[in-house]
Structures are given as C-alpha cells and as structure tokens.
C-alpha cells in the first residue's frame, strides 16, 4: 500500500503544522452550561507539560532523556485515579516490571525501514543500537486551555542512532470533557524525509496504552512485581489478585479473544480503587488500515495496530505501507476515560460518531 501525498509534497514545517491543526475540530461546539477549566502548562526546568482538569491532574506530556519517546503519563480518571501503569517512570507497589518500553499512552511502531521504534526502553547498549530507533521531542508549537477543552501541539523526530531523521512528526492532542468522561484525541501526521519510508507489517504497534494492574485481565500476565520496598521479585500464587479487567470489542468479542481481531473500537473495563473504571480506544475511518487490528493483551498492553495486517491474519492480508519521500500520512485516535461507572457500548458508538464528525 502506498500513501498519496496529503500536503502536495511540501517540506515546509509551517504548512505541515497548519494542515495538522486543520484536522482538529472542524466544527466548533459551545461548551455546556457546567464546565471544567482545562489548563496546560510546562513545568519549569522539567521535560514535562501538565494538563489539569480544574485542580486535578488529567495527564502529563513527558519527554525525559531516559525514555525513547514522548508519552502521556499518567492518564487519570476523575478523582486522580490512575488508569495507566506507573513503571518504569513512577513505579507503584504491586505493578509488573515487564516490557519497560510500554509506558503511559504512546504512539510508535516496530518496523520502520527495518528499525524498531517500539521495543526501545531508552537504555539500549551502544553495540546493539543499529536495529533500534527513538522518537525525539522537538518543539512545543501550541498550548491553549479553555472550558472543557484544551489543545497541545508538538513536533517530534523519528531517528536512528546515526542521528538521521526518518520521519518528522506533528501531533495535536485535544483534551476534553463530556459529562463524566474525559477524552484525549491524538492526531499524528508523519512526514517522510528525502527517502521513502517503509512500514513493514509488524504486530508491534501503534497507538497504545499500558494500563494499571487493576485493569489487567485476571489470570494473565507475568509474575514479576514491585515490592513495598521498591525491589523487583517473583510473586507468589496470588499474583493475579486485584486484576479485574475485561475487553469488549465493537464486534462483540470479549477477554483474550479480542487479540488479533479487527474492531472499530475497544473497551477495557475494570475496578480501580474500589471504583468501576473504563478505558476505551476508538479508531477513525480516515486512518490507514481501518478498522485496526488489536494488539490487546491480557497483561495490560492495550493497542490499536492498523499496519500489521500480515501478522494478525496469518498472511492472508498484507499491507506493507510505503510512504513516498516528502509525503505525509495522518493517524487519528480517541481515548475515553471514566471512573465511578463504566462507559457503555452505546456511549462509545456516540463518541466514535462524534470523533468522525469533528476530526477530519
């Protein structure tokens, strides 16, 4: 599959930015009578931008030197209930310590011109770096808060360890609140440099969340956990205790059966701090490979993968997307968050319809 040029081959960063911004909320909406102020601000002397819902931390865009990519961490439901795993940045007792590259809410891929941008935890030994890439935060292009809505626009560079830029990224995050649901829309435009970029079919991708221990599926996962003293160790026979999660896809599949299947959206319900909670990830009809395959694992990885079709179809489908030199492709995802009650499939259908309407 080859992607047509969305921006007539321009290499002008300003035009790329404007095109990215034009994708977001083409139809303005009046805020409801009751509202929450969303504020966005950079923390002084830190690689961290905090998004606040009133007085509560909604999420933070972080890009510390020790990570191989920028991420949103934590992702909090109302009441500052964390629905993402803290490890390895801010580990909490009882969390698993597997897959340290799975951090917060992020976007990456496992095979870009043969380079793995997914499995890099940020501490790859120099002698092993040839097969890995990293995503370097570029600039903060826009920060704006408001009533029930805020926007953050950033740039980033997908690089190999020879410091060559393979892709330039411009991402717009829209943070909003609808009734009891917090919403994060991510619109990411990737632009190839002077050479074409090949996204070989790979299961490791693409828009992903690593969830809190309580949101994992019971009876699945890896038994390495963090003890009260911060040490790592093997858990005993009760290491599934506290895992309450269950997946439900738009196609009606549940639990581990959702892995490797296509769906328009995926719900993950669980119980966190004694409260019912939901994370729901919504695909967009404008994305390549729609509806995405789901690389959603019971141990806590929750990921939509639109490009790895050969991996999930046992070879009956092949995508192998190619992005010609100088051209662009855009990916759009919506993450819905709630605690104190679940988000029903009917509500997700409405959120998906709204997403399609307002994100071009």
Over range 292-306, report the average pLDDT.
96
pLDDT of residue 34: 62
247 pLDDT more than 90: yes
Sheet holding 133-144, edge to edge: 133-144, 149-160, 165-178, 181-192, 328-339, 275-282, 265-272, 246-249
Exposed, middle or buried, 44 (CB in 10 Å: 0-12/13-18/19+)?
exposed
d(CA 42, CA 257): 41
The model's pTM is 0.90
Mean of the per-residue pLDDT values of the chain: 89
Contact predicate 190/328, CB 8 Å: yes
pLDDT of residue 227: 67
d(CA 21, CA 120): 29
Contact predicate 245/45, CB 8 Å: no
Instruction: List C-alpha distances in Å: 89 to 3, 42, 67, 95, 284.
Output: 36, 18, 9, 12, 30
Among 91-105, 106-120, 199-213, 307-321, which stretch is predicted with the lowest mean pLDDT?
91-105
Greatest extent of the chain over all pairs of C-alpha atoms, in Å? 58
Q: What is the pLDDT of residues 169-202, one digit of tens each?
A: 999 999 999 989 999 999 999 999 999 999 999 9
Over range 142-156, report the average pLDDT.
97
Q: What is the pLDDT of residues 28-53, one digit of tens each?
A: 344 445 678 999 999 999 999 999 99
19 pLDDT more than 70: no
Domains assigned to the chain:
13-27+36-358 (2.70.98)
d(CA 283, CA 261): 13
């Amino acid at each position: 599959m080859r992607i047509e040029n969305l921006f007539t081959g321009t290499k002008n960063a300003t035009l790329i930015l404007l095109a990215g911004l034009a994708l977001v909320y083409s139809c303005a909406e009046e805020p409801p009578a009751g509202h929450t102020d969303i504020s966005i601000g950079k923390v002084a002397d830190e690689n961290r931008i905090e998004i606040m819902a009133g007085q509560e931390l909604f999420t933070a865009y972080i890009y510390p030197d020790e990570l191989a990519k920028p991420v949103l961490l934590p992702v909090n439901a109302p009441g500052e209930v964390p629905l993402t795993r803290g490890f390895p940045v801010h580990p909490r007792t009882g969390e698993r310590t597997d897959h340290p590259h799975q951090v917060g809410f992020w976007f990456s891929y496992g095979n870009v011109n043969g380079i793995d941008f997914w499995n890099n935890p940020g501490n790859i030994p120099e002698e092993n770096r040839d097969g890995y890439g990293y995503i370097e935060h570029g600039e903060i292009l826009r920060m704006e808060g408001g009533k029930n809505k805020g926007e953050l626009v950033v740039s980033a560079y997908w690089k190999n360890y020879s410091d060559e830029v393979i892709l330039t990224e411009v991402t717009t995050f829209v943070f909003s609140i609808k009734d009891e649901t917090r919403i994060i829309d991510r619109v990411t435009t990737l632009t190839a440099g002077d050479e074409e970029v090949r996204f070989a079919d790979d299961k490791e991708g693409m828009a992903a969340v690593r969830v809190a221990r309580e949101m994992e599926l019971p009876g699945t996962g890896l038994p390495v956990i963090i003890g009260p003293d911060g040490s790592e160790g093997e858990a005993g026979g009760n290491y599934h205790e506290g895992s309450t999660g269950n997946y439900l896809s738009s196609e009606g599949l549940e639990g581990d059966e959702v892995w490797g299947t296509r769906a328009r959206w995926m719900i993950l319900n669980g119980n966190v701090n004694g409260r019912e909670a939901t994370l729901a990830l919504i695909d967009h009809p404008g994305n390549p490979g729609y509806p995405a395959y789901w690389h959603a694992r019971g141990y806590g990885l929750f990921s939509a993968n639109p490009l790895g079709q050969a991996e999930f179809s046992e070879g009956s489908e092949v995508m192998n997307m190619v992005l010609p030199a100088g051209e662009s492709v855009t990916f759009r995802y919506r993450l819905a968050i709630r605690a104190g009650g679940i988000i029903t499939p009917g509500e997700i259908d409405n959120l998906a319809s709204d997403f399609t309407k307002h994100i071009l």
